[in-house]
Chains A and B, each alone.
Chain A
Amino acid sequence: MSRMLVDFEQIQKAKAGDGAAFNQVVVAYRKRILGTIARLIGRPEDVEDVAQEVFLRLYYSLDQLRTPEVFEPWLYRLTVNASYDYLRKQRRRNESRMSDLSEQQVMMADAAAGGKVSGEEQRQKQVKELVESLLGAVSEQDRILLTLKEVEGLSLKELEKIYAVNENALKVRLFRARQRVLNAFEATKASDSKPVDRKD
């Protein structure tokens, strides 16, 4: 949320129902929103679907936007809400099916294909898996909050605008979420460095 990608006039036009202006707003922000969603939900195959949901909600809620100055926090709030809805649905889906064979098969295929990917790709894959497992230690809300702060690099002031809660409440929540992730990280590191018992 560093600088506005469209001018206020464009937002005003889109708000007034100008389809072309709305198109321009979407085109200007979609890459940034797609990236944020990709890092929030961690499933590349569903990123576009969630992004379209964000812009759909934007289209139907633009008339509630008081001033163009609050457009970006507004858009991020819609992104957060859509990602949260997605993660919640995903969790319910995962709970309803006890074992996900297809996912296992995909992982096995990935492992088999491991030799073909470059060292850098392999490393990136490991980082993604590590972060996914670490963020699994916290709730969906905390996962989103933590990702916005630590990965997207949003400031507390920006988060305050998005969540419409005071900075102290956010600090407490972030601290607790980070502690949980840190504990999970330590546990992962400890289990990685533990020597493997061998039975001869």
Chain B
Amino acid sequence: MTQVLAVDNVTKSYPMTPPVHALRGVTLNIDEGELVAVVGPSGSGKSTLLHVMGTLDRPTTGDVAVAGYRVSELSDAELSTLRAQRIGFVFQQFHLLNGYTALDNVADGMLYTGSPVDRRRAMARTALERVGLSHRVHHVATELSGGERQRVAIARALIGSPALVLADEPTGNLDSQTSAGIVELIEELHAGGSTIVVITHDVAIAEHFPRIVRLRDGAVESDSRAA
């Protein structure tokens, strides 16, 4: 199995008084096609880990490799390219551009890949079909419900078929029924071959997923796979 993500003994400290050690020697390997939940209480370092895995932040010590590219060896511009081509993000707050249609929001997922706009739009249409929103293609973001917005955000993360999709509390802003729909969608996408890491504080949601990594105080407490 090809390794998509390798987090190797990563620490992340913030120079405050006293210093904050958000991650303390985290090691985590994720293979292609895996669906992993990273679960932990508030302040356990989940979001920091997501940022480090997503190359939005560099570790203080240790290293991260995404799709074989070692973060420590890449410049800031190269990390941007890596994110554009290999990593998709889903955020709790959706982060859609309000004046834009669902189609254009999804197409923006490939804006920085150098792909021409017609191709981006064609791919965005396909991605919207994948998340069950083919009937909302031309609706602007403000006309969509919370669940639909998150589906658009998921489609945006999936559009370029990235090696890794990182979802930060994807159900955090949704009611339980809509959350269940999003979890189901994530499972479907996983079944279709996507590698997905879901960060959540909700143990009940994490238990839907085949592999659960528990974080506590910036360290991996347990890493278990469903039988």
Same complex origin of A and B: no
Binding site for B on A (CB under 8 A): none
Binding site for A on B (CB under 8 A): none
